[in-house]
Structure 1
């Protein structure tokens, strides 16, 4: 049984509206070189980015794990405490390094923002455990926040604003 021409037209219009939206959506995925690093080992984290021309990513590391560097341009990253923010301008891959603590487990979590596409989302968590040993999260006095932290999107907005101001300021 075939549908009437108006029904087929409505289905075609809906299909044409939904497929481009799904195909053009931004995605960010994370890949770890290892999920069970050795004590003190430095390992790589890769972020694959699709569909973001101008935006940013903020990664939050588990307690005890520290940011150990990246090849991403230095004027487009900001590392503070356990968070690392990357400003994105036509990037498709970001690789950074993390140093594992002597023991501990937890999740790397992340968020992304597409400024031109006016969308944002989360990056699925990636679990880590030093030498494969699970531990309970401990709140030591130095890990307790003493003041409310700024939201990650504010950090991304500030980084992108600095980059844009620097580029426009240099074109005079």
Structure 2
């Protein structure tokens, strides 16, 4: 006999296979409280989400910038190095904070996935620069850029696991 969490997972899989995708794309847009923060300043990042009933968003921060918190439920957030994954269940807005380094610039990038609509895409990059000063990537024995940005698909898998675990415990 299949248990309750497995029944829910099976139902979700059947829905994903049987319901035709109505949404061809679910755009996610990002706005920043400032693109030129002072050294150590906390920036508020807002994601506007349209049409994702069940899915995820993964944001990747530039080197030196650090995740500083969110009002999104803790059990639906996964942070790994410079990547932040958010499980999305009918949200229209997610807000989070990042802290700027003493100096540095780069792009905040992102990807989104709509699990039920079987669609995915990229969030347009947002450029940040401490005090408006552009800097070159540093190469003083730090990880090469290819290793800095973790694969968004690994974080999306973590987001999917959070969604399944969260849905399995609710009645």
- Aligning the two structures, in what range does the TM-score lie when normalised by the shorter sequence? 0.7 to 0.9
2:155 is the counterpart of 1:155: yes
Residue 129 of structure 1: how far off its partner (Å): 0.6
Query: CA shift at 1:139, angstroms?
Result: 3.0
Please state how far the C-alpha of 1:93 moved relative to its aligned partner.
0.2
2:46 is aligned to: 46
Give the 3-state SS of the residue equivalent to 2:37 in structure 1.
coil
2:68 paired with 1:68: yes
Q: Which has the higher contact order (CA 8 A, sep 6+)?
A: 2
Task: Verify: 1:136 aligned to 2:136, yes or no.
Answer: yes
CA contact (8 A) 2:45 2:95 kept: yes
Q: Residues 1-172 of structure 1 correspond to what in structure 2 (within 5 A)?
A: 25-144=25-144, 151-171=151-171
- Distance in structure 2 (CA, Å) of the matches to 1:53 and 1:110: 18
Q: CA offsets, 1:103-149, max 9 Å, x none?
A: 01100000000101101000111001100111111134343379798
Q: What TM-score comes out, normalization by structure 2 length?
A: 0.79
Q: Does the aligned pair in 2 maintain the 1:113–1:153 contact within 8 Å?
A: no
Q: Structure 1 residues 50 and 80 mapped into 2: Cα distance closer, same or farther (>3 Å)?
A: same
How far apart, in 2, do the equivalents of 1:148 and 1:138 lie?
12
Contact 1:24 1:51 in 2 (8 A): no
Q: Is the 8 A contact 2:25 2:120 kept in 1?
A: no
User: What whole-Å deviation, never above 9, does each CA across 1:76-120 have from its counterpart, x for those lacking one?
Assistant: 001111111101011100000010000011000000001011010
Segments of structure 1 that go 5 or more residues without pairing to the other structure are 1-20
1:160 is paired with a residue whose SS is: helix
Change (3 A) 1:68 1:144: same
CA distance in 2, matches of 1:148, 1:44: 22
State the alpha-carbon separation in 2 of the partners of residues 43 and 150 from structure 1.
22
